[in-house]
Structure 1
C-alpha cells in the first residue's frame, strides 16, 4: 500500500536522475536534450488524456444505451412501504396495483437518472479529448520540425 504512495516520487526521482545523467554526458546539447525530453513528456501526457477521454466516452455511451439495472426487488419495495406506516396514524391501505405502479415509476425514474448521468459523463469526457488534442498536435508538429 505504501508502495503506491511513493511510486510517483520514485518515478520523478528516476526522471530527474536520467535528465542529470544525459545533460552531464552531452554538455554541448544539454538544452536540446531538455527541450526534447519536455516535448516527449507533453506528448505522452496529452496522448494519455485523449486515450482516457475516449475510454470514458465509450463507457458512458454503454451506460446510455443500456443503463445499469435497478437492484431493489418489488418485495423489498413493498415491505419498505408497509414499514413506513407509523403507529397512531391512520393506516391507509394501498392496493397492490398502486404499489406496482409506484415501483414501475421508481424503476423508470432510476433508468432516466442513469441515462442523464451518462450524458453528463460524455460531455465531461469530451473535455479530456477536446482540450489536450490541440496541444498534442502542436507539440507533434513542433517535434517534426526539430527533427527535420
Structure 2
C-alpha cells in the first residue's frame, strides 16, 4: 500500500516536472534550456531515490515489528480438536482405538503453533532483507546526485 501511494505521488511529480520542462523550454530556448532540463532531471532522480529509501525504511520497521511481536496464531485448540474429530469421524474404517487422545491432540496443536511462529519469523526475516535492498540500492544514487547538485550550485 505504501509503495502504491509512493507510485501515485511519483506519477504526479513526473507530470508536474514535465510541465515545467515544457514551459521552461518555451521561455528559455535562447537562454540555455539545457541547464533547466539537467536540474529537473537531477531533482527527479533525487525524489525517486528518496521515496525508495523511505519506502524501504518503512518496510524494515514493519519487518522488525513482525519479528519482535508476531501475530498470534488464530486457530484455538478447541477448533483444532473439533477439526481433527470431524476428519476421523468421516473415516469409517477408523475404530475408536485409533482416535488420538486429548494429550496427543494438544502436542500436535502445540507443534503446529510453533511451526507457524517459526514460519512467520522466517517470512519477516525475508521481508527485512528485501526492505534493506530498497534502502541500500538507491541510497548511493541519491548521495551521488545530491553531491552533484551541491557542486553545481557553488
TM-score over 0.5 for the alignment? yes
State which of 17, 24, 27 in structure 1 corresponds to 2:26: 24
1:49-108, Cα deviation, whole Å (9 max, x unpaired): 111111100110010111111101111101110111233312312111111111111111
- Root mean square deviation of aligned Cα: 2.0
- Alpha-carbon separation, structure 1, partners of 2:19 and 2:58: 33
Give 1:116's aligned residue: 122
Q: Unpaired runs of 5+ in structure 1?
A: none
Measured after TM superposition, the shift of residue 125 of structure 1 is 0.6
The separation in 2 between residues aligned to 1:146 and 1:131, in whole angstroms, is 24
1:87 to 80, 85, 91: 91
Q: TM-score, normalised by structure 1?
A: 0.89
The answer (yes or no) to whether the contact 2:17–2:40 under 8 Å persists in 1 is no
Say whether residues 1:147 and 2:153 are aligned partners. Answer: yes
Instruction: Give the TM-score normalised by the residue count of structure 2.
Output: 0.86
More deviation, 72-81/13-22: 13-22
2:72 to 49, 69, 73: 69
- TM superposition outliers: structure 1 runs of 4+ over 4 Å: none
Aligned length: 143
Structure 2, unpaired ranges of 5+ = none
Q: Secondary structure of 1:69's match?
A: coil
Q: Is the 8 A contact 2:24 2:33 kept in 1?
A: yes
The yes-or-no answer on 1:126 pairing with 2:132 is yes
Find the counterpart in structure 1 of residue 103 from structure 2: 97
Q: 1:18 deviation in Å?
A: 2.2
